[in-house]
């Protein structure tokens, strides 16, 4: 592991495998370019109208907000495992963290992101 040759072998093998896979795909696969491929739903039939019309902004903003707050709670886990050892200092720190998170939520609320219509 410590030797350069082994590491390079490993690294190059990774690259070569992937390049080979993709390269074969590029060589063998039929190619065509059209803008439809960039559409969100590429399922053969041309969509009627624009998919933009059916987009509900509410879902999207909710999803992003949910994602943010969901992931931020990851910082509670290490705190929770040693909550007794940390004592009050840990509690204050985590409360401060939650207040900052709450400020973010309050801003989103104030900007009417949480309004469903």
Partner 1 sequence: METTVAQIQVIPLQYYIIFCSALFSIGVIGVLAKRNALVIFMSVELMLNSANLLLAAFSAYRNDPAGQIFVFFIMVVAAAEVAIGLALLVVVYRSTKTIDINALNRLKW
Partner 2 sequence: MYAIITISIVAIIVLFLGAIQKKTPLLPIIFVGLPVAFIINLLGWNQSIHYYNEMYIADNFSIAFNAVLIFTTLLVFIFAPVYYKPVKRPLEDIYALILFALIGALTMTGFGNILMLFVGIETMSLSLYILAGSKKFDPNSNEAAMKYFLTGSFASGFLLFGIALIYGACGSMNLETIKEFVVAHHNNIPAMLNIGLLLVAIGMTFKIGAAPFHFWAPDVYEGSPTLITTFMATVGKVAAIAAFFRLMSSSFSDMESSWVVTLTIFAIATILIGNLSAFYQDNVKRMFAYSGIAHAGYMLIAIIALKQQAAGVLLLYSISYTIATITAFAVLILVREETGTFSINAFKGLAKHNPTEAFAMTIAMLSLAGIPPLVGFAAKYNLFIAAIEQGHLPLVIVAIVGSMISVYYYIRPVVAMYFNLPSATSAIDSSSNYKKQIFLAAFLMIVLGLIPGVIINLI
Mask 73-92, x = binds partner 1 (CB under 8 A)?
-xx-xx--------------
Q: Please report the DSSP string for 34-64 in residue order.
A: -GGGGSS--SSSPPSS-GGGG--HHHHHHHH
Residue 28, token pair as written in the block: 């063998």
Q: Which is nearer to partner 2, 24 or 103 (CB)?
A: 103
Q: How far is the CB of 102 from partner 2 (least distance, A)?
A: 12
Cα(94)–Cα(115) distance, rounded to whole angstroms? 29
Phi, psi dihedrals of residue 62, rounded to the nearest 5°: -60, -45
Name which of residues 44 to 103 contact partner 2 (CB under 8 A). Answer: 103
The site for partner 2 (CB under 8 A) is made up of 2-4, 7-8, 11, 103, 106-107, 110-111
The site for partner 1 (CB under 8 A) is made up of 1, 6-7, 10-11, 13-15, 17-19, 22, 33, 35, 37-40, 50, 52, 60, 64, 67-68, 70-72, 74-75, 77-78
């Amino acid at each position: 592991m410590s030797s350069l040759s082994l590491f390079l072998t490993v690294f190059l093998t990774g690259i070569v495998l992937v390049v080979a896979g993709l390269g074969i795909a590029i060589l063998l696969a039929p190619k065509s370019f059209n803008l439809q491929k960039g559409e969100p739903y590429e399922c053969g039939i041309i969509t009627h109208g624009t998919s933009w019309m059916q987009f509900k902004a509410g879902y999207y903003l909710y999803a992003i907000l949910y994602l943010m707050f969901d992931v931020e709670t990851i910082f509670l886990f290490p705190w929770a495992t040693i909550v007794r050892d940390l004592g009050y200092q840990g509690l204050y720190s985590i409360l401060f963290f939650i207040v900052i998170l709450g400020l973010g939520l309050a801003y989103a609320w104030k900007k009417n992101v949480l309004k469903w219509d």
